[in-house]
A and B are shown apart, each in its own frame.
Chain A
């Protein structure tokens, strides 16, 4: 299954409760995580998600991109995206 389909089916509540209907697993995401998931569900690129985070949280710097990559690694590790998924 491709990343878009998988992410589309991921249920994310307003409080950051995340449910993967394929594995039955549940997770908690903070506000930044929810924003990233929102961007991924919309199919945004890495730069676009970083920009969205900058705008939303009014922060700048390289840390944002690094945090984003770390979050994607977490998604891969928990099989919420395919093992070969990476942001362009």
Chain B
């Protein structure tokens, strides 16, 4: 019999532009075989997931990625000592490099992870996506990496308007003129730094896939989804699982080409002719991951098992037509909990309470 695992999950910022952490945790809680503990790793004392006490057993504030891997290492060692850790599952783009750098430390601490390599992370990045697409035979909209605002005044010679201005980690703004482009450029740089990616606009339906690669070129599972309600920030507030074998094959090609290890979100545009254009690959679970669990392929649970060195069978069958509809609700939190997180940087449940 397998022992219950203690799993740490990041990305508890379940705001109107939610991090994936709460969705990942809910997926784990949904699985009938998961009877482990969840340790939430948060960056801000008001990250909503901290106060979801029915989902998260213990919570620790961790240092922002800008503080570097050494600060994160110290914190993870502390957490391991305090509550024990079997698996860590980071869910945010900006923290991945630090967690990957710390893999030897995690191994030493006997904490499992299932992450891509630095090289894999780099090859699928927005900066290199075009090159990757060419080599893997996957259509990618023309794009250009720019690191100076002056570049934008001649960019139309290579990428026609309208196009997207994208940050290296997050954010995409559609621009139709040089003035809009300059404004979006400064906004992205202020938030995410350099470089900035200019990507051609492709008309069509946006489709997304949540998937997990086994690190040896195989696909553990994939679920394609179409957003049915989009917020003013461009985030999917509702979506539906669709049947799209061709898109799953595209995802399989991506996973095989990079030997992708871990979760990812593949974003494509399907044009009027039915052709797929890969616009982005996010190297982590998306915020709508819970749909995969609801539709019958619980990908977060699969990743936890893989990270713990446990076997996982590829999952193919999911319920087409299963939907997610997001909700905003007000959680009631105790001041004592907020105080614990603010002053001690941690909030522990009573051991053995549940």
**Interface residue ranges, A against B (CB under 8 Å):** 9, 11, 19, 21-24
Contact = CB atoms under 8 A, between A and B. Distances in A.
Q: Identify which of A9, A11, A19, A22 gathers the most chain B CB atoms within 10 Å of its CB.
A: A22
Nearest to B247: A22
Interface stretch (B24-32, B38-46, B237-245, B257-265): B237-245
A23 B242 contact: yes
Contact of B226 (A9, A11, A23): A23
A24 B242 CA distance: 5
9 contacts: A9-B243, A11-B321, A21-B320, A21-B321, A22-B242, A24-B228, A24-B239, A24-B241, A24-B242
B264 to A, nearest CB: 21
Contacts of A21: 242-243, 320-321
B35 interface: no
A22 B243 contact: yes
A9 B245 CA distance: 13
Interface string B226-250: 1010000000000111111000000
A55 B321 CA distance: 34
Contacts of B239: 24
B325 to A, nearest CB: 13
Interface residues of B, number: 12
B110 interface: no
Interface of B: 205, 225-226, 228, 239-244, 320-321
A71 B228 CA distance: 24
Nearest to A19: B321
B238 to A, nearest CB: 10
Tell me the dominant secondary structure on chain A's binding face. loop
B270 to A, nearest CB: 9
Contacts of B228: 24
A54 B225 CA distance: 40
Nearest to B273: A83
Given A9-B243, A22-B242, A24-B240, 16 more contacts: A11-B321, A19-B321, A21-B242, A21-B243, A21-B320, A21-B321, A22-B243, A22-B244, A23-B205, A23-B226, A23-B242, A24-B225, A24-B226, A24-B228, A24-B242, A24-B321
B271 to A, nearest CB: 12
Contacts of A22: 242-244
A22 B225 CA distance: 10
Contacts of B241: 24
A10 B239 CA distance: 18
Contacts of B205: 23
A88 to B, nearest CB: 24
A23 B242 CA distance: 6
Sorted from nearest, which 3 A-B pairs have the closest CB atoms?
Answer: A24-B226, A21-B243, A24-B240
B322 to A, nearest CB: 11
B307 to A, nearest CB: 31
A18 B315 CA distance: 27
Nearest to B242: A24
A9 B244 CA distance: 12
A40 B272 CA distance: 24
Nearest to B227: A24
B55 to A, nearest CB: 28
A19 B241 CA distance: 11
A50 B5 CA distance: 63
A9 B321 CA distance: 12
Contacts of B321: 11, 19, 21, 24
B178 to A, nearest CB: 36
Contacts of B242: 21-24
A19 B322 CA distance: 11
A23 B241 CA distance: 9
A9 B225 CA distance: 17
A23 B207 CA distance: 9
